[in-house]
């Protein structure tokens, strides 16, 4: 694998460099189209020149992208990067206040979106102060401009390719920000993680080497392309290894192995529950007869690894990291230890375990996982427009993960999350954001959101509410309210009404007690009751 240095470590340079030697090879395909390295480069150049010209985008501007999984997403990723602008990937399930927050906090002036999401944009446009252009994928309709107020220009995706095929004359450095990924990992509102070009190169190179990707191998993507696990943990390693990418619309347990065989995929990224879900599928005689060589994952249950590898004839590679941190520990290709992620990545990071006073604890003792890089621009730069949150995360010059673990014999053992976050359906869900939306209901006085562990290794969401005096609210009514204002992965499964919430002497809700109670006889379960 070719090594890049200095300002070569940018998305525009790397793609252009690969085109010089493998321009005719397939870079990305989906069910509708196949694009070579050269075709992606030309389309990205044309898009960049159009954005810099007619669309008025300048280096450092923000371009929001709200698209379903498709080969064109990769074109957009590189097209925006070539302008020197900053991509803002938007979770396609968000709506209402959360969508408004993403667009306003990022200051995105251009939004590239699929037609199906236009009503979501229209519903919040009065609250958007920066949006000036909406690009409709794949094509705009004659009436689309009527959806938006005066001053918002509506373009068709195809109109972005009227620019010159030559690379735009924009200088991009490795330390320049390339995108802002929104993460819901803490008690507060979602924070925009600003990542530089060098982060994407570095992370991609580590994964390509770790997974032993070879030229021509296919990397299968079924997770959403608005996630980092796909953009810089799948697309980048595939390109750096001079392979190709096969994109599915989403994860389907019944279709998964057929896709792997159809695309002749050698590697893929998965998260949390996917391995357990695949293991629950009926066994087939040809389960191990598939081309998948490495099943890269995050947080796989240790007891699943060995039977999964045996059944499907592959290697499961686990990793620990985050949007903010990068990969600070990952399992060796040929070695595993029970309960451990893998050796700490000492080559690139200083990783330690701290107590609540930021004092390092002895080996084997549980504490917070903290890290700092040994190279510049390989971790997050900041939380966008949130200086206090940035300083808190980087306090005492260490990046604090909010995760608990311990190090033994220089192997990292991940214990769990210290943050008030819930992991559901592959998403980090902020309890704060759930509570914020539910408290906007006129009949609710107080609310607490807590995780309920599931057998698949993730969480279901339970909310405990206190109604205002004299008010009544059926769980089904509250679910409808939530569905109107939340993405699907945030809508709670469990609801329980109490006369009061347990609190400390300082009036802080004691969520530990609520978690200990779990699901009680008084808890309403959406999956067992008649629910919307």
User: E strands along 304-374, which residues?
Assistant: 315-322, 326-330, 342-343, 349-354, 367-373
Average pLDDT value for residue range 248-257: 94
List, by residue range, all CATH 3.40.50.980 domains of the chain.
35-176
Q: In the predicted model, is pLDDT for residue 265 greater than 50?
A: yes
pTM: 0.84
**Percentage, residues of the chain above pLDDT 90:** 75
pLDDT of residue 421: 65
pLDDT digits 0-9 by tens, 84-97: 999 999 999 899 98
Confidence class for position 280, pLDDT limits 50, 70, 90? confident
Confidence class for position 483, pLDDT limits 50, 70, 90? very high
Does the domain at residues 339-419 carry the CATH identifier 2.30.38.10? yes
pLDDT of residue 506: 44
pLDDT digits 0-9 by tens, 344-377: 999 999 999 999 999 999 999 989 999 999 999 9
Give the DSSP per-residue string, 264-305.
TEEEEEEETTHHHHHHTSPP-TTTT-S---EEEEES--HHHH
Q: Determine the Cα–Cα distance for residues 373 and 271; give it in Å rounded to an integer.
A: 25
pLDDT of residue 505: 47
pLDDT of residue 277: 82
Q: In the predicted model, is pLDDT for residue 39 greater than 80?
A: yes
For 255, other C-beta atoms within 10 Å of its C-beta total 14
Cα angle 528-531-532, degrees, rounded to a multiple of 5: 145
Mutual angle of helices 475-485 and 431-438, in 10-degree steps: 110
Q: In the predicted model, is pLDDT for residue 423 greater than 60?
A: yes
For the chain, give the mean pLDDT. 92
Confidence class for position 532, pLDDT limits 50, 70, 90? low
pLDDT of residue 187: 53
Average pLDDT value for residue range 314-332: 92
Which residue has 């525009």 as its token pair? 12
CATH for 422-525 (3.10.310.10, 2.30.38.10, 3.10.180.10, 3.30.300.30)? 3.30.300.30
Q: And the tokens for 106?
A: 């990022």
Confidence class for position 275, pLDDT limits 50, 70, 90? confident
Closest by CA position to 486, among listed 390, 422, 419, 420 = 422
Q: Determine the Cα–Cα distance for residues 201 and 137; give it in Å rounded to an integer.
A: 28
Spell out the residues 6+ positions from residue 377 whose beta carbon is closer than 8 angstroms to its own.
174, 175, 196, 197, 198, 199
In the sheet where 349-354 sits, what is the strand order?
A: 342-343, 411-417, 399-408, 367-373, 349-354
Q: And the tokens for 482?
A: 């939530």
Average pLDDT value for residue range 108-116: 97
**Main-chain dihedrals φ then ψ at residue 472, nearest 5 degrees:** -130, 145
pLDDT of residue 366: 87
Q: In the predicted model, is pLDDT for residue 7 greater than 70?
A: yes
Q: And the tokens for 353?
A: 């375990």
Average pLDDT value for residue range 35-57: 97
List, by residue range, all CATH 3.30.300.30 domains of the chain.
422-525
Q: In the predicted model, is pLDDT for residue 255 greater than 70?
A: yes
**Main-chain dihedrals φ then ψ at residue 69, nearest 5 degrees:** -65, 125
Q: Determine the Cα–Cα distance for residues 48 and 166; give it in Å rounded to an integer.
A: 10
Please state which architecture CATH assigns to domain 35-176: 3-Layer(aba) Sandwich (3.40)
List, by residue range, all CATH 2.30.38.10 domains of the chain.
339-419
């Amino acid at each position: 694998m070719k090594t890049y240095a200095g300002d070569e470590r940018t998305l525009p340079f790397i793609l252009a460099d690969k085109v010089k030697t493998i321009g005719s090879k397939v870079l990305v395909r989906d069910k509708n189209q196949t694009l070579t390295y050269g075709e992606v480069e030309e389309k990205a150049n044309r898009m960049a020149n159009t954005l810099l010209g007619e669309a008025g985008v300048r280096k450092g501007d923000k371009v929001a992208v709200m698209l379903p999984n498709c080969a064109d997403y990769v074109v957009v990723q590189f097209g925006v990067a070539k302008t020197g602008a900053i991509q803002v990937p938007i979770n396609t399930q968000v709506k209402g206040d959360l969508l408004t927050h993403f667009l306003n906090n990022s200051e995105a002036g251009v939004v590239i979106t699929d037609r199906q999401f236009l009503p979501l944009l229209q519903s919040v446009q009065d609250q958007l102060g920066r949006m000036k252009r909406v690009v409709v994928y794949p094509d705009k309709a004659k009436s689309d401009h009527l959806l938006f107020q005066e001053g918002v220009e509506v373009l068709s995706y195809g109109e972005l390719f009227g620019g010159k095929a030559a690379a735009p004359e924009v200088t991009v450095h490795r330390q320049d920000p390339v995108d802002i990924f929104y993460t819901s990992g803490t008690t507060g509102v979602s924070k925009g993680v600003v990542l530089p070009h060098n982060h994407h190169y570095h992370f991609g190179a580590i994964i390509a080497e770790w997974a032993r990707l070879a030229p021509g191998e296919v990397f299968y993507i079924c997770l959403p392309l608005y996630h980092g696990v796909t953009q810089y943990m799948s697309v980048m390693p595939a390109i750096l290894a001079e392979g190709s990418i096969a994109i599915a619309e989403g994860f389907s347990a019944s279709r998964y192995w057929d896709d792997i065989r159809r695309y002749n995929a050698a590697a893929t990224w998965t998260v949390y529950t996917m391995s357990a879900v695949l293991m629950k599928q009926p066994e087939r005689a040809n389960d191990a007869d598939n081309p998948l060589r490495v099943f890269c994952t995050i947080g796989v249950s240790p007891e699943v690894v060995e039977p999964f590898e045996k059944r499907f004839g592959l290697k499961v590679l686990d990793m620990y990291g985050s949007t903010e941190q990068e990969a600070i520990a990952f399992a060796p290709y040929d070695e595993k230890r029970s309960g451990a992620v893998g050796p700490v990545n000492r080559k690139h990071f200083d990783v330690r375990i701290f107590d609540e006073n930021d004092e390092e604890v002895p080996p084997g003792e549980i504490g917070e996982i903290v890290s700092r890089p040994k190279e510049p621009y390989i971790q997050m730069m900041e939380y966008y427009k949130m200086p206090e949150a940035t300083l808190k995360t980087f306090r005492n010059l260490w990046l604090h993960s909010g995760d608990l673990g311990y190090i033994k014999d220089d192997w990292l053992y991940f214990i769990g999350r210290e943050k008030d976050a819930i992991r559901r359906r592959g998403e980090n869900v902020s309890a704060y954001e759930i509570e914020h939306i539910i408290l906007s209901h006129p009949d609710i006085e107080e609310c607490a959101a807590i995780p309920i562990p599931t057998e698949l290794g993730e969480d279901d969401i339970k909310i405990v509410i206190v109604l205002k005096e004299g008010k009544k609210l059926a769980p089904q009514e509250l679910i409808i309210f939530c569905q109107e204002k939340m993405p699907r992965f945030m809508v709670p499964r469990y609801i329980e009404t109490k006369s009061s919430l347990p609190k400390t002497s300082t009036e802080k809700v004691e969520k530990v007690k609520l978690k200990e109670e779990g699901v009680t006889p008084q808890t309403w379960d959406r999956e067992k009751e008649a629910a919307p």
